[in-house]
Amino acid sequence: MGPARTKDEESGRRVDLDGSLVSTTLLYPLDTCKTRYQAEVGAHGRRKYRNLSDVLWEAISNRQVLSLYQGLGTKNLQSFIAQFVYFYGYSYFKRLYLKKSGAIKIGTKANLLLAAAAGACTAIVTQPLDTAASRMQTTSFGKSKGLWKTLTEGTWSDAFDGLGISLLLTSNPAIQYTVFDQLKQRHLGEKLDKRDKGSSPEALSAFSAFLVGAISKSVATFLTYPAIRCKVMIQAADPDDDDDGGASKPRPKSQKTLPAVFLAIWKSEGISGFFKGLQAQILKTVLSSALLLMIKEKITKTTWVLILAIRKYLLLTRGRLKSA
C-alpha cells in the first residue's frame, strides 16, 4: 500500500509540475504586465501606467513584445524548485506528525498547519529566485540582466527582500480552504433542502467545484492583496538601474522596507492604492487555476491512453509468441 501510494503521489507531482510550467509560460506576459503595474507608485497624474493595458502598449510601441518574457526562465526554475521542496517538505512533516502523534489520519487543521510549514520552507528556499524574477520583470524592456548578475549585483540580504511577507502569504491557502469549505457546505446544504433529507449530495459537480474554487481563491487574494503589492514594490528593480544600462558605476540599491513602502502607497495613492492591480491578480489567479485543471486532465487522460495502448501491444505480442 505504501509503495503504491508513493508512486501515485510521485505521478501526481509530475503532472502538477508539468501543468504549472505550462501555465506559467502561457500567462507570463500577463504576469509581467501585472507586476510592472503593481510596482509603480505615484499620484494619478504622475503615473506612467494608468492601467494594465498601458504596459502592453509600451512593449508593442517600443517593439519589445518579447521582453514581456524577460525573467521567464527564472520563474520556471522557481516553480520547479518550489514544487520539489514543497512536496518533500510536506511529506517529511506529515511523517513526523504521524510518528509523534501516533495518529492514523491527519485532520483538516493539522493538514493546514503542515501545508503552511511546507510553504514556509518553500518560500525561504525560493525567495532569491522570486526576487530576481520580480527585478527582471520590472527592469526596462530589453535591459533585463541574467539570473546570476541580477542576484550578485546586491548583497545576499537583498536577494531575500520581501521574505517576511512571503512567509505571511503562506496563510493564503488556509484562507482559501476555509472559504471554499464554507461555500461548499452552504451550496450542498441548499441542494439538500430541495431534496429529501435522507439523501445528501456527496460532492460538488466539476463546474460547481471550479466556480467555488475560483471564488474562494479570489476572496483569499483580496484579503492578502495589500501584502502582495507591498512585496512586489520591495522586490522591484530601482528605476535608476535602467537608465545607464550598466555602463556607469553601479549605484547602491535603495533600501525598501515594509513601513516605507506602506507609507509611500498611503501618501501617493490613498487606501485604494493598496488594491491597485487587484483585478489583474485575480484574473491571472483564476486563469492559472483553470489552465492547471485543464492541463492536468489532459495529461492524465493522455497517460491512460498510452498505458492502455502499451498494454494492448504487449498482450498482442505475447499472443503471437505463444502461437509461434
In tens, the pLDDT along 33-42 reads 999 999 988 7
Radius of gyration of the chain (CA): 23
Say how many C-beta atoms besides its own lie within 10 A of residue 34's C-beta.
Answer: 22
DSSP state of 69: G
Residues 6+ apart with CB under 8 A from 269: 41, 42, 43, 44, 276
60 pLDDT more than 90: yes
In angstroms, rounded to a whole number, what is the distance separating the alpha carbons of residues 240 and 246?
10
Residue 304: per-residue pLDDT: 60
Q: What percent of the chain clears pLDDT 90, i.e. is strictly above it?
A: 41
In angstroms, rounded to a whole number, what is the distance separating the alpha carbons of residues 190 and 195?
9
In angstroms, rounded to a whole number, what is the distance separating the alpha carbons of residues 116 and 100?
18
49 pLDDT more than 50: yes
Measured CA to CA in angstroms, residue 118 lies from 92, 125, 173 at distances of 9, 11, 12
In angstroms, rounded to a whole number, what is the distance separating the alpha carbons of residues 144 and 137?
8
Q: What percent of the chain clears pLDDT 70, i.e. is strictly above it?
A: 76
Question: What mean pLDDT, rounded, does the chain reach?
Answer: 82
pLDDT tier at 16, thresholds 50, 70, 90: low
Residue 37: per-residue pLDDT: 94
Residue bearing the bigger pLDDT, 198 or 115: 115
In angstroms, rounded to a whole number, what is the distance separating the alpha carbons of residues 246 and 13?
41
130 pLDDT more than 80: yes
Residue 303: per-residue pLDDT: 61
Question: Tell me: the pLDDT tens digits for 266-308?
Answer: 998 999 999 999 999 999 988 887 777 777 666 666 666 676 7
22 pLDDT more than 50: yes
Measured between its terminal Cα atoms, the distance across the chain in Å is 38
- Counting Cβ atoms within 10 Å, is residue 160 exposed (0-12), middle (13-18) or buried (19+)? middle
Residues 6+ apart with CB under 8 A from 214: 286, 289, 290
Say how many C-beta atoms besides its own lie within 10 A of residue 131's C-beta.
Answer: 26
The grid coordinates of residue 10 equal 510521485
CATH number belonging to the domain at 2-245+255-318, selected among 3.40.50.1700, 1.50.40.10, 1.10.10.10, 1.10.150.120: 1.50.40.10
Question: Tell me: the pLDDT tens digits for 68-121?
Answer: 999 999 999 999 999 899 999 999 999 999 988 888 888 888 888 999 999 999
Residue 48: per-residue pLDDT: 84
Whole-prediction pTM value? 0.79
DSSP state of 251: P
4 pLDDT more than 60: no
**What DSSP string describes 116-185?**
HHHHHHHHHHHHHHHHHHHHHHHSPTT-PPPHHHHHHSS-HHHHTTTHHHHHHGGGHHHHHHHHHHHHHH
Tell me if residue 94 falls in helix, strand or coil: helix
pLDDT tier at 320, thresholds 50, 70, 90: low
What would the mean pLDDT of 151-179 be, rounded to a whole number? 89
